[in-house]
Structures are given as C-alpha cells and as structure tokens.
Amino acid sequence: MNTASSMSIFLNAAIINNFVLAMFLGICPFLGVSNKTDTAMRMGGAVTFVMLVASVCAFGINKVLTWMGAPYLQLIAYIVVIASAVQLVEMIIKKFSPALFRALGIFLPLITTNCAILGLALFQTARQYDFVQSLAFALGAGAGFTLALVLMAGLRERLELSTVSSVVQGAALTLILAGVLSMAFMGFAGMAS
C-alpha cells in the first residue's frame, strides 16, 4: 500500500516529475500539437479528461484481475477497456453536450492509445495507489501535461516571429527547447520534502 497523501501525489505528477518533461510520456502530442496556445489548452483538457476515465477503468480492471489471478492479461485488458470506455464516453458527450464535444471531441480518438494514458494506468498499478490516490494522480498528470503543452506552445508562438537558421528549424529546435523547459522543471525537485 502506498501512504503518500493525495496532495503530494498531485504535485509530484504535475510538476516535480512532470509526465512530459521528466517521464517522457505523451511526447508525440507534445511535439505535434504545441503550435498554438489555444489548441494546446483544449488538447490538455481532453487528455486530463481521458486520464480520469482511464484511471477509474484501470483501477477497476486491476481489482478484477487480481481477484482472477491473471496478471498476464493486464496490458491487453488496459488497452482494450480504456479504448472502449473513452469511445463510449465520446458518444455520450456527443449526444448530451455538443458544445463540449466540439471543444474536446476531435482529440479524443487521437489520444486514447497515447502512451501518457497507458503509462498513467501502469504507474498507478505499480505504485499501488488506492482509488482517491489514483484520481489525484490522474488529475496531476493531466495538469502536468496541459502545463507542459501550454508552456511549449507559448514558446513556439514567439519563436515563429524570430529568425532562426534553417538547419535548426523543426523538430531539432523543439527538442532543444523541451530540454531547456525540462531543466527548468528540475528546479521543482525537493518541493515535496
């Protein structure tokens, strides 16, 4: 059993061990959808939402699998159930809240099999979080992802206006920027203690 408080789990996932910048989960959307702050915000919202759904699902699946004594089904069950659950939720949102669907909808299918989502499920199981801790972890991870994405988008929006050598442009520059951002986040280490 893990005894860490929900608050420290939240802070840990959001800034100290940021999901993107320290644990390298969800790098693809981080590099791909970080051009505009507005898009980054909405992507972050969608990811946080999917993380909450995934966290609840993973918690349930883990209970069932432990009871069945079938740990070898963990990975397959996580992927299949999380993907199905997110699709189900997507349909429900589409029916009951078209406005919310327009804001988050297009990102949902893209991120279901994103490694941040599966990573969240795997880490929460490995650390033996209980239900409330899992939720705090999911919220923290989502907040951390959104923060990293929005910061990156802000940097890149500014960068568009500056002249950069053609050799550096593109992925290389984004990665080096991410490195600097990651270094800045290292300053948060030690906050929990």
Site for another protein in 157-176 (CB under 8 A): 166-168, 170-176
Cβ closer to another protein: 112 or 146?
112
> Residues 93-122 vs another protein: string with x where CB under 8 A?
----------------x--xxxx--xx--x
CB under 8 A: which stretch of 15-23, 97-105, 131-139, 140-148 binds another protein? 15-23
The DSSP line for 82-135 is HHHHHHHHHHHHHHH-HHHHHHHGGGHHHHTT-HHHHHHHHHHHHTT--HHHHH
Tokens of 134: 């899992």
Q: Would you count residue 12 as binding another protein (CB under 8 A)?
A: yes
Least CB distance to another protein at residue 123 (A): 6
**DSSP code, position 164:** -
Tokens coding 107: 């990102």
Q: Which of residues 39-98 bind another protein (CB under 8 A)?
A: 71-76, 79-80, 83-84, 86-87
Check residue 69 and give left, alpha or beta (phi > 0: left; psi -120 to 50: alpha).
left
Binding site for another protein (CB under 8 A): 1-2, 4, 8, 12, 16-17, 21-28, 31, 71-76, 79-80, 83-84, 86-87, 109, 112-115, 118-119, 122-123, 126-127, 166-168, 170-176, 178-180, 182-183, 186, 189-190, 192-193
